[in-house]
Structures are given as C-alpha cells and as structure tokens.
Amino acid sequence: MSTIFEKIINREIPAEILYEDSVCIAIRDVAPQAPTHALVIPKKPIPRIGEAQEDDVETIGRLLLVAAKVAHAERLDNGFRIVINNGDHGGETVPHLHVHVIGGRQMSWPPG
C-alpha cells in the first residue's frame, strides 16, 4: 500500500511543491507547526531513518542539502530547525522518511 508521500510523488494527491529533483521533492506541510513548515521527501521509499542502509547515504545527504535550500528560498535567515522523526515515540506518523524544515518563529528547547 502506498503512503501519502508516494501518492504525492506520483501526483495522485495534490500538494504545494516547493522544490523537486530526481532524488526528492519538497512540499509545504498541510498541518504546519510554525509559519514555515516544509517536508523534504526522498522519491525512493525509505520507511524511516532507523532503517536506512549504507547505499542510502547520498539520498540522505541530498535531503539535508535540499532542506537548507528550501530554508534559504523561504527566507529563514534568522534560523530554522530540521527534524527527522523515527518510530511512534519519535512522533513519526507516515512510514516514509522525510525531513521537516521548520522556521519563521523562535524555536524553544527542549522541542517536545
């Protein structure tokens, strides 16, 4: 069964696309936790960061570089947070690796 992210990648579900290349897609989160909240999603379905393999290293690196590119394009010059959730206790709700880019307000610590 396809995840919501696979359906977005395949254009079965609409999304506001902020960036796309051959490795990943960045979309605006439909339930934002800050004024700016984007998701960077690999096109290759990796269930979660805890299940990534050695051959996923370039994909994971690309996700982080694109996250920074999205933050720059969204003018998050005062800073931003990158979050990757893993598993139920980590807050993961979709079993497809994705990077949250969150900004536009002061972030607090600890995060949750």
Q: Smallest Cα–Cα separation from 85: which of 76, 96, 74?
A: 96
Q: Judge whether 98 counts as a catalytic residue.
A: yes
Rounded Cα distance between 66 and 31, Å, is: 21
Instruction: Tell me if 70 sits within 8 A of 76, measured CB to CB.
Output: no
Catalytically annotated residue among 37, 89, 96, 98: 98
Token pair for residue 43?
Answer: 């096109």
The type of residue at 13 is: I
Q: What's the length of the chain?
A: 112
Report phi then psi at 37, rounded to 5. -150, 105
| Residues with catalytic function | 98
